[in-house]
Every structure is written in structure tokens, then in C-alpha cells.
Amino acid sequence: MFLAAIAFPWVASAQTGNASGGGGHCGAKGSCKVTIDVARGASCTVESSIDVRPDSVEMGRGERRTVVWKLTAPGYEFCPANGDGIQFKDVGQDFQFYDPRATDDDDGDDDASAPARCRKSFRWKNKNEAHTWGKRYAYVIRFTGPNGAVCVKDPWVRNG
């Protein structure tokens, strides 16, 4: 599988954020947004047709964050019944990531719909603890495309 060079360095500086605010690519509520798009007219079964942006997310130091991956192309969804979502390859991942869930809320909050319903976004909450800064986490993005196509992308995440 193609390994996309996607890093989420949770690094802070005066320009990227602090414990009281967002930080880098994260909003004031602590949600860090990643968009997933599929090239128009291309098949999502070809990994190079899937674009993940930004390819580097600065988390800022100090607070927990929520990483929200959102599908932007029409006809693509995260369907829990199909096994879709963001799956970390190392099950332990230092206990930094928790509470995975498909959601339609832009900040990754829970929504009121049935748990098995397909949604446009998927989130993981992240503790963002200092002892893991600089660590990388391999993960797989899996979602459902038009006519039930299985779409997969294989990037990675880096703390600190």
C-alpha cells in the first residue's frame, strides 16, 4: 500500500498556540480538522486518488485535542456497519487516542443520530501529553464510496 507522508506534529511555539487556545490548525474548541477528498472521476479504490489535507497539523501544547477527518466529496461516507473509520495500526498507541466515533458534527462532538448510520466525519480524541511529542502513529483511513466501493488510505500521525 502507498504510504502517504502525512504528519500531525503536535508542536507548539509562540505562533502555533498554547494551553488556553487552539494552536496551529486547531480551533478554539480544540478540534483539529483534516479533509479527505477523492479526485473527481477517479476511483477511491486507487489510493493515489485520495487526498488528505493538511498533510501536517500543528496541535499546540497543553490541552487535549479532537482530530476530525471529514469527507468532502459527494457520495463518500464513514459507515460503521462496513467497518469504516480511522484505525490505528498499533492498538496501544500510548493510550493517547480514545473515543473513536463517526459523527456529523464539525468539531467531532457526538450527534443524536443512530450509531450505525453513515456519516461524513470521523473523530478520535487525543490526550496530547508531553511525553509522546515526536512519536509517530501509523493509521488507516477506510470509508465507503459510491456503489459500496471500499476506499482505503494509509497515512501516519506524529505527536509533538
pLDDT over threshold 70, residue 28: yes
Q: Looking at residue 11, what is its pLDDT?
A: 29
Question: What gap in Å lies between CA 62 and CA 15, rounded to an integer?
Answer: 14
How far, in whole angstroms, is CA 120 from its chain's centroid? 12
159 pLDDT band, cuts 50/70/90, is low
Contact 66, 108 (CB under 8 A): yes
159 vs 11: which has the higher pLDDT: 159
SS3 content of the chain, % helix, strand, coil (to 5): 10, 40, 50
Q: Looking at residue 123, what is its pLDDT?
A: 96
Instruction: Record the pTM.
Output: 0.81
33 vs 154: which has the higher pLDDT: 33
Domains of the chain (ranges, CATH numbers)? 31-158 (2.60.40)
Question: What percent of the chain shows pLDDT beyond 70?
Answer: 75
Contact 94, 127 (CB under 8 A): no
pLDDT over threshold 60, residue 74: yes
104 pLDDT band, cuts 50/70/90, is very high
Q: Looking at residue 160, what is its pLDDT?
A: 54
145 vs 62: which has the higher pLDDT: 145
Bridge partner list, 31: 66
